[in-house]
Structure 1
């Protein structure tokens, strides 16, 4: 593990960078590359107690942190306890955050489901973060804030992804204003309103605004930090300098150029170190 990186902040290899591999394999590869944190992908339909044991063992052997576990996706009509097991798994592996998105058309239903999940974390240090992105009903920073403020649970937070921040019409200045408003009103959260951020680079503008184009952009066209046009330095300056970073670099180009798990993890880590050093 890279000691200088560890002393600064948690830097995590997001699960979406390496979707072809099992969570325990990703843990070992992230640690070998130098990351001090990792993201865990959890499909409740295939997740078993054996997988929990393997991930927990991998985390214990490497000493790195499970920054988040994803993804809880709220859908209309499903029982409210559909995703309860996420909290149990997060507690078992020591994950710091549970990542949620919502396709509930009624924002009050999103609030109800989000509050339920937050309440299940009582007695733990887990945060439940709501991510906003163009393809879901919570498709703006303002809507995510409305949910989190409406629920007002100390575990609730917002996940900012630099790509989605740009694509949904917000910017680093909005993050600064929100945080200043909370300080002014003395609003307290168990953890920060933004417990961590997801980072990638990309083109400044969306090339194809069709649904297919938006999905292609989010799932396959992200770039390594510093190789695109997003105002990443502004985002870093807008948040706490110790805030954990998850490298959400979903990229078809990376997958094709680096089909091996370790090679891909290595290049993401090395390029991230270079970028963070360059913006200090």
Structure 2
């Protein structure tokens, strides 16, 4: 059976320790951790290697049989401060994370590619890849723009994080995804949503609060799965504020497993 992880956004109110416990109970094999806020002032859990919480988390992960698949989130803005990056990478590497997620928020394409390359160079000795996640409302808002940055950076451990919602809300297609070189595709996040996008002013709210479990919307998820490289890591990202964290995780695991049933990826 394909291993399945869950993005921290699915139950961001749960600290890493509780997320690991609840995710294991729900049937996930891996968790992602939000170590740094996606937006200024956003919720995150700056778990440093020397902290007591770090040691406790390692014990829970070992006991529950769950691994950390990825860490997030660094927004590569013109004024980005990468002071937190070394400890984030150290934490991720010690927990076994395979990737770091960043976004592209710098309109200077050359500078953005250079900074992305620098992050990749810091992550490479730790065996981690750096995934650029595109979102419709950010500077790097679609698949083509993300691919251009990754290719310009020219780093072997660079890549693109494909979030199903962001892919289709950006106007990209499964056919376009199928043409992306497999070496750039490491991780895919799954959720569902209505086939028709909401008004522009509601796009961000939908991404943070309006996702649906796989199979409950109109996104072409089965077609997406058919074009993914065999080595891609899959996770569910289904934040639903109307449900408790444990219930949210259980539903996301059940519906995502149902989608994957019958596919050998």
- Fold match, TM over 0.5? yes
1:36-185 residue pairs with structure 2 within 5 A? 36-43=29-36, 47=46, 48=48, 49-179=51-181
Alignment-derived partner of residue 270 in structure 1: 254
Any idea what SS the aligned residue of 1:101 has?
A: strand
Inter-partner Cα distance in structure 2 for 1:216 and 1:13? 20
Secondary structure at 2:207's aligned position in 1? helix
Q: How big is each residue's C-alpha offset from its partner over 1:204-248, in whole Å with a ceiling of 9 and x where there is no partner?
A: 1212112xx111111111100000000001110010245221101
Shift of 1:85: 2.5
1:121 positional shift: 1.8
Deviates more, 1:140-149 or 1:42-51: 42-51
Distance in 1 (CA, whole Å) between partners of 2:167 and 2:80 is: 28
RMSD (CA atoms): 1.9
| Residues 240 and 248 in structure 2, CA contact (< 8 A), matched pair in contact too | no
Specify whether residues 163 and 195 from structure 1 end up closer, same or farther in structure 2 by C-alpha distance, changes over 3 A only.
Answer: same
Worse-matched range after superposition: 113-122 or 231-240 = 113-122
Cross-structure match for 1:19: 12
Distance (Å, rounded) in 1 between the aligned partners of 2:77 and 2:56: 29
Unaligned 5+ residue runs, structure 2? Answer: 38-43
Query: Aligned equivalents of 1:172 and 1:239: distance in 2?
Result: 10
Q: Which residue of 1 aligns with 2:25?
A: 32
* 1:68-89 Cα shifts (integer Å, max 9, x gaps): 1111112222345453332122
SS in 2 for 1:251: coil
- 1:207 aligns with 198
Gaps of 5+ in 1: 1-7, 183-191
Q: 1:266 to 1:82 in 2, by over 3 A?
A: closer
- For 1:75 and 1:36, locate their aligned partners in 2 and report how far apart those are by CA, in whole Å: 33
**Paired residue secondary structure (1:202):** coil
Cα drift, residue 101 of structure 1:
0.7
Query: How far, CA to CA, are the matches of 1:55 and 1:143 in structure 2?
Result: 37
Aligned length: 255
Does the 8 A contact of 2:36 with 2:74 survive in 1? no
Give a deviation string over 1:96-129, Cα, whole Å, max 9, x none.
1101112212122221221111111233321110
**1:233 maps to what in 2?**
222
* TM-aligned CA deviation for residue 21 of structure 1: 0.9
Q: Whole-Å Cα distance in 2 between the matches of residues 46 and 271 of structure 1?
A: 27
Which consecutive aligned stretches of 4+ in structure 1 deviate over 6 angstroms post-superposition?
Answer: none
Given that 2:190 and 2:236 are in contact with CA atoms closer than 8 Å, whether structure 1 keeps it comes out as yes
Three-state SS of the structure 2 residue aligned to 1:99 is strand
- CA gap of 1:51–1:113, structure 2 versus 1, over 3 A, is farther
Of 197, 207, 228, which aligns to 1:218? 207
Q: Deviations over 1:126-177 (max 9, x none)?
A: 1110000012111111111111111111110100111111011111111211
